Amino acid sequence: MMVEEGKVESYGKRKIFALKEETFFILSVLIPTLIAFFIIRVVPITKTFIFSFFQWSLIDGVGSFIGLDNYFTLFKDRIFYEAFFNTIFFTIFTTIFSVVLGLLFAQLINQKIKFKSVYETIIFIPVVLTFVPVSLIWMWLFDWDNGFINITLQSLKLPRVAWLATPRMSLVSVTIVSIWKVIGYNMVIYSVGLKNIPSIYYEAARIDGASGFTLFRKITLPLLKPITLFVLVMAVINNLKVFTQVYVMTHGPQGGGAQVEVLVSDIYARGFVYFKMGTAAAESMVLLVVVLLMTLLQFRLAREM
């Protein structure tokens, strides 16, 4: 890495000394950082890719090259498909509901109303919390016998719901918790976007006789497009990586027969419970491809819209 003239130094008097000093500074900072990047990121990512074509277990280490066998094993496994479709279901519903509700709350809060900051703070609180205590709280709310939700349903003469008793219902419950946790994040981001729309647009449109929903559809939504793209990309990426709440709420000793598999929990199980690192690496690559494809797809859609 050769150092040319630096912006800082270009007005310096002692050019040659300064250049040496600069080179030394840049190298002494960048080299440790780059080494860390290679060890923590570049090498592990490359290894995951390469070893997904090898026999690989924690106990025996890396074995022989087996081509696509790890992928075939995966694609023949019912659990992989279950994990894949659960992840997709979770991602679609969590993303749609949290983005729509986030936008709705942002709209409601972006008016000159009293207690605005109180509402905003309360709706944002779930965002700052971590998923383990949150999962525990909701497991208690979802409890079959004594959970607040079922007791309320009962007192309204409605049937109780087995929130965490079957894999399907558990997935729905986990989705509800995740939507609840992320609404505030989307609300705050949309609020920033709404504040940046000049009010003159709305005034002009009102003079032309537009109102209510038309204003929203013709002005607000189009102008929020970049923000929506950002919120969607972030939500989709984060939701595809879902793990903690699924693991805590459905894989614990209380999870019993209602274990929900998602891609990350399946990677975890293959790699760290059954020590089949090769198949786990292959599944990691599937997750990576899905994440990258979804991101590309959304950018493409945004450009065409």
User: Please, which of residues 159-198 interact with other proteins by CB under 8 A?
Assistant: 180, 183-185, 188-189, 192
Q: Does 254 bind other proteins (CB under 8 A)?
A: yes
Please state whether 143 falls in left (phi above 0), alpha (psi between -120 and 50) or beta.
beta
Q: Indicate whether 100 belongs to the interface with other proteins (CB under 8 A).
A: no
The answer to whether 175 and 94 have CB atoms below 8 angstroms apart is yes
Q: Give 78 or 114: the residue with its C-beta nearer to other proteins.
A: 114
Contact set for other proteins, span 117-146 (CB under 8 A)? 118-119, 121-141, 143, 146
Question: Residue 155, interface with other proteins (CB under 8 A)?
Answer: yes
Question: Is 187:123 a contact under the CB 8 Å cutoff?
Answer: yes
Question: Per CB under 8 A, which of residues 60..79 are in contact with other proteins?
Answer: none
Under the binding rule (CB under 8 A), the answer on residue 252 touching other proteins is yes
Tell me how far, at minimum, the Cβ of 16 lies from other proteins, in Å. Answer: 15
Pick the piece of the chain touching other proteins (CB under 8 A) from 66-74, 90-98, 113-121, 198-206: 113-121
Chain mean position to CA 273 = 24
> Using the rule CB under 8 A, is 297 a contact of other proteins?
no
Could you tell me the CA-to-CA distances from 111 to 105, 124, 216 in Å, in that order?
11, 17, 14
- In the bound state with other proteins, the residue whose beta carbon lies nearer, of 121 and 166, is 121
Helix intervals (H) in 110-217: 116-128, 131-141, 148-155, 167-195, 199-207, 212-215
Long-range own/partner contacts, residues 142-151 (CB < 8 A, 24 or more apart): 142/173
Residue 252 CB, shortest distance to other proteins, in Å, is 5
Choice from 34, 68, 158, 204 touching other proteins (CB under 8 A): 34
Task: Say if strands 54-57 and 61-65 run parallel, antiparallel, or are unpaired.
Answer: antiparallel
Q: Does 16 bind other proteins (CB under 8 A)?
A: no
Task: Identify the residue among 234, 259, 298, 302 touching other proteins (CB under 8 A).
Answer: 234
Q: Return the number of other C-beta atoms located less than 10 Å from residue 89's C-beta.
A: 15
**Is the Cβ of residue 171 or residue 235 nearer to other proteins in the bound state?**
235
Tokens of 86: 């659960």
